[in-house]
Amino acid sequence: MAVVITSVLEGSIAEKKRIKAGDCLMTINGHEIADVLDYRFYLFEPRLTLCLQTAAGKKRTVRIRKSEDEDIGLEFETYLMDRQHTCRNNCIFCFIDQMPPGMRETLYFKDDDSRLSFLFGNYITLTNLSEHEIDRILEMHISPINISVHTTNPELRCRMMNNRFAGDTLSLLRRFADAGIHMDCQLVICPEWNDGDELLRSMQDLAALAPAVESVAVVPVGLTKYRDGLTPLRPFTEQESCDILDMVTRFGDEQVVKTGNRLIYPADEWYVQAHRPIPEEAFYGEMSQLENGVGLVALLRSQFAEAMENRQSDRAVGTDTVLATGVAAAPILRELVETASKTIENIHARVVAINNDFFGEHITVAGLVTGGDLRRQLQGIPCERVLIPDCMLRHEGDRFLDDVTPEELAAELGARVEVISTEGGALFEALMR
């Protein structure tokens, strides 16, 4: 196997060793290089022997000495150095299956790539791992891995994922645990599928794998209005949300007594749906499940309070501001704005909850608010600027899910659109400007 080098950074070690774009990297210290994990793992050594093949087909060996964390300056066609691995499941709750037609092509790609789990925190189901990938995880001791478990009942997992191998791959949890691989897990809960006794079973089974399993997020299923032809699913009722909160919290309390680690955490959405107060930051331990919406509100409050305490002035500039957010976060942001207004003069900010007409009323998170919904629902609200969280935009920060850009939104509204971090300190500083 070999990967093609597309460019060499100017002034880098590779350039000094006369490595050229178009050369193929075959091995590092005798190890074949197939993708970014191989490359990064074997590149760490301070003494390297690279086997290359030039564009003309000539093989050459390059020896390099460097510091352990020093890059050598090679670039490849893609970050992963090969194609992204696609998902082979057909989960009953898959969000991508619930996307409307006509959006940009990349939004319909279902990834299930162990490399992205390690590098970027993506979740994998284990059903797409080859024996080579499993062996590599064990050999390289890749850790932590983020795993979408959903249920530890093998038969139920097969039905929920529509994959007859989904139950068998649960054995990898034990295999990784025995090898000392750390895992963060998630359970996406669907009413009358994997809640109730099935949820209790899953929590018990995952707790038995601690400390290798370091945390488990319990998340409610997200349902859009585009579910024609899909497995019938419904949102949780307020009482059901209360019941799940009670079960998960009680189980976590027991784990704290037994091990000192709560282990199992309910997503913030459960508290919103149950109309219950969200715990303080200390409840969430290492905050390892923020990407699953676990502890986001507590962290936001804590960061905001710290920024207020360290403020340099008791008077804001007084810009007429609209804070646009999802329905779920709106009450929390109103609370923070009110808290700041009690001690700081001249804050002129109001929070506007954006109903998700694009995906449907059951989608309430800020990260799935579209530019079109912002444009329609903010029209006619006079203000100098609109603050939006960066989670509303794609990774590049240049457009919403519906391809509207912040610049287009600003032109439509006749107001500045400012993108701010979801970090509480950034929100406070924005209110002061």
The CATH number of residue 47's host domain is: 2.30.42.10
Q: Are residues 193 and 317 in the same domain?
A: no
Phi-psi domain of 261 (left: phi exceeds 0; alpha: psi -120 through 50; beta: other): beta
- Does residue 219 or residue 140 have the better pLDDT? 219
| pLDDT band at residue 383 using 50, 70 and 90 as cut-offs | very high
Residue 89 lies in a domain: no
| pLDDT band at residue 362 using 50, 70 and 90 as cut-offs | very high
Residue 110 lies in a domain: yes
| pLDDT band at residue 264 using 50, 70 and 90 as cut-offs | very high
Q: What is the mean pLDDT of residues 410-414?
A: 95
d(CA 365, CA 328): 6
Residue range of the domain that includes 69: 3-76
- Please name which of 427, 422, 297, 296 lies closest in space to residue 369, comparing C-alpha atoms: 422
Q: What is the mean pLDDT of residues 137-158?
A: 93
Name, in order, each residue with C-beta under 8 angstroms of 46's C-beta and a sequence gap of 6 or more.
Answer: 65, 66, 67, 68
Q: Are residues 277 and 310 in the same domain?
A: no
Name, in order, each residue with C-beta under 8 angstroms of 385's C-beta and a sequence gap of 6 or more.
Answer: 319, 320, 321, 322, 415, 416, 417, 418
pLDDT of residue 118: 66
Q: Are residues 250 and 112 in the same domain?
A: yes
pLDDT of residue 1: 62
| pLDDT band at residue 38 using 50, 70 and 90 as cut-offs | confident
Q: Are residues 194 and 215 in the same domain?
A: yes
How much helix, strand and coil, in percent to the nearest 5, is found in the chain?
35, 20, 45
pLDDT of residue 63: 95
| pLDDT band at residue 207 using 50, 70 and 90 as cut-offs | very high
For the ranges 6-10, 102-106, 298-302, the lowest mean pLDDT is seen at 102-106
- Position 335, amino acid: E
Q: Are residues 248 and 104 in the same domain?
A: yes
- Does residue 84 or residue 299 have the better pLDDT? 299
The residue written with tokens 């509480």 in the block is: 424
What is the per-residue pLDDT across 96-145, written as a single tens digit (0 to 9) for each?
Answer: 999 998 888 878 878 776 676 666 678 999 998 888 889 888 988 888 89
Residue 90 lies in a domain: no
- pLDDT over 70 (residue 217): yes
Among 23, 47, 76, the domain-final residue is 76
Provide the CATH number for the domain around residue 223.
3.80.30.10
- pLDDT over 80 (residue 167): yes
d(CA 26, CA 3): 7
Residue 212 lies in a domain: yes
pLDDT of residue 173: 97
Tell me how many domains the chain contains: 3
d(CA 184, CA 215): 5
d(CA 75, CA 351): 44
Q: Are residues 203 and 315 in the same domain?
A: no
d(CA 278, CA 283): 10
- Please name which of 176, 187, 174, 172 lies closest in space to residue 123, comparing C-alpha atoms: 187
Q: Are residues 347 and 236 in the same domain?
A: no
pLDDT of residue 114: 67
Residue 187 lies in a domain: yes
Q: Are residues 183 and 264 in the same domain?
A: yes
The residue written with tokens 């009413």 in the block is: 191
Q: Where are the alpha helices (DSSP H) in 208-260?
A: 238-259
Among 291, 316, 335, the domain-final residue is 291
- pLDDT over 80 (residue 389): yes
How far, CA to CA in Å, does 113 sit from each of 31, 59, 109?
21, 32, 12
Q: What is the mean pLDDT of residues 221-244?
A: 96
- Does residue 105 or residue 389 have the better pLDDT? 389
Provide the CATH number for the domain around residue 330.
3.40.50
pLDDT of residue 136: 86
Query: Residue 277: is the preceding peptide bond cis (ω within 30°)?
Result: no
Q: Are residues 282 and 308 in the same domain?
A: no
Residue 428 lies in a domain: yes
Q: Are residues 198 and 226 in the same domain?
A: yes
For the ranges 25-39, 208-222, 260-274, 342-356, the lowest mean pLDDT is seen at 25-39
d(CA 296, CA 268): 7
Residue 326 lies in a domain: yes
Q: What is the mean pLDDT of residues 310-336?
A: 95
d(CA 180, CA 177): 5
Residue 86 lies in a domain: no
For 334, phi then psi, to 5°, come to -60, -40
pLDDT of residue 132: 85
Q: Are residues 134 and 275 in the same domain?
A: yes
Query: To the nearest whole percent, how much of the chain has pLDDT over 90?
Result: 79
Q: What is the mean pLDDT of the chain?
A: 93
Q: What is the largest CA-CA distance in the chain?
A: 73
| pLDDT band at residue 267 using 50, 70 and 90 as cut-offs | very high
pLDDT of residue 133: 87
pLDDT of residue 59: 93
- pLDDT over 90 (residue 361): yes
d(CA 218, CA 270): 9
pLDDT of residue 84: 64
Q: What is the mean pLDDT of residues 254-268?
A: 97
What is the pTM for the complete model shown? 0.87
pLDDT of residue 107: 80
Q: Are residues 272 and 125 in the same domain?
A: yes
Q: What is the mean pLDDT of residues 17-28?
A: 92
